[in-house]
Amino acid sequence: SSELAQDPAVSVALGQTVRITCQGDSLRTYYASWYQQKPGQAPVLVIYAKNKRPSGIPDRFSGSGSGNTASLTITGAQAEDEADFYCNSRDSSGAVLFGGGTKLAVL
């Protein structure tokens, strides 16, 4: 079955830029969405359709993608950005996929 692969953990210095990636064959066909989840809270949609931001999401969050890789970039990371991030897409059979998640530490 299709999968979406994410690095388990990434760190970034306060105020610096970090890129979180998601890899999978389905991303050649379907856009990725990205979700931020802070401890004890429900996930929040931060990017959809590869690079669109829902209202209320800071513009330091951006999305991109090429080939089998989707990326979430945080430009000027803040302490409050520390969270788990999940990518999501579909595959050709219609199955809904989530990546395993990336734990972001802001140092």
Which residue's CB is nearer to other proteins, number 36 or number 71?
Answer: 36
> Euclidean distance between the first and final Cα of the chain, in Å?
36
The number of residues that bind other proteins (CB under 8 A) is 22
Binding segment toward other proteins, per CB under 8 A, in 16-24, 47-55, 63-71, 73-81: 47-55
Tracing tokens 């590869």 back to the chain, one arrives at 50
| Residues with Cβ within 8 Å of residue 65, at least 6 apart in sequence | 27, 31, 32, 50, 51, 71
Which residue's CB is nearer to other proteins, number 71 or number 102?
Answer: 102
Residue in 12, 18, 22, 35 binding other proteins, rule: CB under 8 A = 35
Q: Are 95 and 36 in contact (CB under 8 A)?
A: no
Which residue's CB is nearer to other proteins, number 43 or number 76?
Answer: 43
Binding segment toward other proteins, per CB under 8 A, in 12-20, 40-48, 60-68, 75-83: 40-48
Half-sphere exposure of 11 toward its Cβ, with a 13 Å CA cutoff?
3
- Considering only residues 71-90, where is the footprint of other proteins by CB under 8 A? 84, 86, 88, 90
